[in-house]
């Protein structure tokens, strides 16, 4: 069975490299650039992020009033991120109907002088600024919006197959005692295989974490985690009793309902923050979100994704300033913790500069791996058509063939983009095989 299996792996590895390789290459290059930009972002937006003034910070209420006066009626106050440490700015964040999903308009305030330091669009929980937002969107969707996410999911869906397939090919060839001949005749292929071995763990990590937040496979992963009781917990904001505050007309932002906080409510930010600190929310980086409706609590959430991870959250009743619910990262299910750490490591924020450099080296290695793979194919290409996936599948034993088809169906169902593209591979192979058979038949006909 080893020869048909080897043929099947070689052909599938070739298909992934030829047809998915360009998408993997784009994802690796954009990810490489993204991993190296936090320091550049800090320099580029230094005026908005940092201040020289020293002394005690003004109340959040005063800082919010300045930001609201600057914004006017153009947007709705949605959250506040107090200055995480001396020398940094407070972010007063606003939602607006014209903003995209997960986007906010942030007014940067000097917490000591209440001077406005800038007004920028920020994105996501990490609050990345315009440069990294552009890179993030390019990495995720090629700036094509939701349809463009097919490209990144295609790359993530096949990357683990290419990595494990390459590892299996190396093992089979080692067992067949072919290493010496490969080393003598094809050093480029040897380099490609050796680099793949060094990178296999990193490639599997990229694939797994990329699939976690992908569009279709990510939804299936979320459903599976929920069924197993491994979902990431969220703090409940439900309250009972008298209404807290009216809901504003611009309540919708990034899939969440947020209240229109009146100027008179700004004083509550200081009180809610003090209550959260008393409840043990001690991270420097945190976000205060006002009530999303008359029967909802305010939330204070830690957003420090570095190590050790601080993402605890509390819900606070603004009438009594008591904690009505809380979640602590220490009590998260293991799968939720691994997901959190995996995503943060994928973004380069978990271990700081060391994390960024490791990502950059792995991404650069992946770029090299794809290029070397194309060079190996170019040098070995032959006008004689070798056995395809379907031919190799037919040559497997019945049990091996049934197992292979079952696994393909299972992974195709769980990873829809992988399943759909696999069908495309097979259809193209059938079409090309039929065309070549027709050509050969025509050549055999008498002229």
Tokens for 54?
């020293």
**Which segments of the chain belong to CATH 3.10.450?**
252-338
Count of beta carbons in the 10 Å neighbourhood of residue 171 = 10
Report the Cα 350 to chain-centroid distance in Å.
13
pLDDT tens per residue across all 447 residues of the chain: 567 888 888 889 999 999 999 999 999 999 999 999 999 999 999 999 999 998 999 999 999 999 999 998 889 999 999 999 999 999 999 999 899 888 999 999 999 999 999 999 999 888 899 999 999 999 999 999 999 999 999 999 999 999 999 999 988 888 766 544 444 447 888 899 999 999 999 999 999 999 998 999 999 998 988 888 888 899 999 997 544 443 333 333 333 333 444 444 788 999 999 999 999 999 999 999 999 888 899 999 999 999 999 999 999 999 999 999 999 999 999 989 999 999 999 999 999 999 999 999 999 999 999 999 999 998 877 544 556 888 888 888 899 999 999 999 999 999 999 999 999 999 988 887 654 544 454 445 554
If you count DSSP H runs as helices and E runs as strands, how many of each does the chain have, helices first? 16, 10
CA separation for the pair 230, 337 (Å, rounded):
9
CA separation for the pair 372, 208 (Å, rounded):
24
Residue 104: beta bridge partners?
Answer: 122
Is residue 291 within 8 A of residue 245, CB to CB? The reply is: yes
Domain spanning 252-338: which CATH class is it, in words? alpha beta
């Amino acid at each position: 069975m080893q020869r048909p299996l080897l043929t099947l792996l070689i052909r599938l590895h070739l298909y992934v490299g030829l047809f998915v390789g360009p998408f993997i290459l784009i994802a690796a290059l954009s990810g490489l650039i993204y991993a190296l930009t936090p320091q550049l972002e800090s320099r580029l937006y230094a005026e908005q992020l940092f201040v020289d003034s020293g002394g005690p910070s003004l109340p959040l209420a005063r800082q919010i009033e300045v930001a609201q006066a600057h914004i006017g009626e153009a947007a709705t106050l949605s959250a506040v991120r107090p200055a995480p440490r001396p020398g940094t700015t407070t972010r007063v964040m606003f939602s607006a109907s014209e903003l995209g999903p997960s986007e906010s308009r942030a007014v940067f305030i000097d917490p000591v002088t209440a001077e406005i330091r800038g007004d920028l669009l920020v994105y996501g929980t990490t609050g990345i600024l315009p440069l990294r937002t552009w890179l993030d969107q390019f990495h995720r969707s090629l700036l094509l919006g939701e349809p463009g996410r097919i490209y990144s999911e295609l790359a993530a869906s096949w990357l683990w197959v290419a990595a494990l397939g390459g590892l299996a090919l190396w093992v089979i060839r080692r067992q067949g005692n072919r290493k010496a001949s490969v080393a003598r005749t094809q050093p480029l292929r040897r380099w490609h295989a050796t680099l793949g071995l060094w990178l296999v763990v990193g490639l599997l990590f990229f694939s797994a974490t990329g699939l976690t937040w992908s569009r279709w496979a990510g939804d299936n992963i979320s459903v599976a985690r929920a069924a197993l009781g491994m979902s990431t917990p969220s703090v409940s904001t439900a309250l009972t009793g008298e209404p807290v505050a009216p809901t504003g007309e611009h309540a919708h932002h990034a899939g969440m309902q947020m209240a229109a906080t009146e100027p008179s409510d700004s004083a509550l930010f200081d009180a809610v923050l003090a209550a959260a600190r008393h409840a043990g929310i001690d991270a420097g980086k945190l976000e205060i979100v006002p009530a999303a409706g008359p029967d909802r609590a305010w939330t204070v959430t830690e957003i420090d994704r570095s190590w050790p991870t601080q993402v605890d959250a509390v819900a606070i009743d603004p009438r009594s300033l008591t904690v009505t619910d809380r979640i602590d990262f220490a009590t998260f299910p293991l799968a939720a913790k691994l997901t959190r750490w995996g995503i943060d490591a994928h973004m380069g924020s978990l271990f700081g500069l060391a994390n960024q450099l490791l990502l950059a080296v792995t991404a650069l290695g992946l770029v090299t791996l794809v290029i070397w793979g194309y060079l190996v194919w170019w040098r070995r290409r032959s006008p004689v058509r070798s056995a395809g996936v379907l031919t190799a599948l037919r040559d497997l034993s019945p049990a091996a063939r049934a197992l292979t088809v079952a696994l393909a169906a299972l992974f195709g169902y769980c990873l829809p983009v992988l399943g759909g593209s696999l069908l495309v591979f097979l259809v193209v192979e059938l079409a090309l095989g039929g065309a070549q058979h027709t050509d050969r038949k025509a050549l055999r006909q008498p002229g």
